[in-house]
Structure 1
Amino acid sequence: MSSVDSQNPQTFSYPSSTVERAKRSLVCSPFNIVLFEAMRHQSVSLNAIAGENGVRYGYTKRLLSELACDNAIGWLIQVGVLRREVDGQGITDSFRLTPLGHRLVEQSQGKNWSAPSLSDRLYNAVIRWFRLPF
């Protein structure tokens, strides 16, 4: 069996439309960059993000119910920014960044995202509602 050299991670190239959609989704999400910076180093559970914990840790912009939080995270999984954590028992309620998510968070490291424009919010909502692949 061959071994994998983890010192040289493979870099992925993404179409610009994928990167732009992912950026727009992050900016329009109800989450702060603090959450994604935490996910760079460890998985974060849904219980730490939803409700009062999310506001206390600075993960969310406002109080989110568990259902609203799960829906927003589900969208970020679909656009390729997040993935569910898996352990020996199966899928857990924790989440991590994907390689695309790592790239976007590293690019914005040390600064907050700009506020999304009305057109960003509208475009993101339409794509999310219809689940369009662009």
Structure 2
Amino acid sequence: MAPAEFDHAIALRYPRRSLKRAERAFRCSPFRLELLGDMRSQSISIRQVCGQAGLKSHYSRRAMAELQAENAMMWLIAVGLLRREVDGQGLTDSFRLTPLGRQVFEQLSALSPAQYRPTLVDHLYNAWCRWVRLPSWAGF
């Protein structure tokens, strides 16, 4: 019996609400689209994102301390855009895109930077979601 083959053309379907929340979270983050683009093919270490290294590689809009970058990355993990890289000894300080993150990247890369710039309402709603973090069973 032949082994089952995985069809890479099968796309996961996410609820529209999840896609919008993840897209808004990235647009409100201090990161640039180049970060997601590079994460499609490789894992990116937190050290590559924070400080002057993040500015030089065009991964961040401003120089950030490692703790700030880590907190922003953890929110992107919470909304489903990123995942932690794992090696043989456990978690590392590197991140990769999830399938949801790939879809968000495809959507945002089709827009101009002015089109995906977050509004004040986006920032307020994103901050509210980060602060409240209601459980999924609550229906919001």
Aligned-residue CA RMSD in angstroms? 1.9
Out of 129, 132, 138, which is 1:130 matched to?
A: 132
Q: Which runs of 5+ in 1 are unaligned?
A: none
CA displacement at 1:4 relative to structure 2: 5.3
| Partner amino acid, structure 1, of 2:120 | L
TM-score, structure 1 normalization? 0.91
* Structure 1 partner of 2:71: 71
1:40 counterpart letter in structure 2: R
| Number of residue pairs the alignment of both structures matches | 134
Q: Deviations over 1:2-34 (max 9, x none)?
A: 855345354211111111100100100000001
Q: CA deviation at 1:120?
A: 0.4
Which of the pair has more CA radius of gyration? 2
1:97 counterpart residue number: 97
Tell me what 2:122 maps to: 120
* Distance across 2 between alignment mates of 1:67 and 1:56: 19
Q: Secondary structure at the match of 2:92?
A: strand
- Measure, in 2, the Cα distance between the counterparts of 1:22 and 1:63: 23
**Any idea what SS the aligned residue of 1:108 has?**
helix
Q: Where does structure 1 differ by over 6 angstroms across 4 or more consecutive aligned residues? A: none
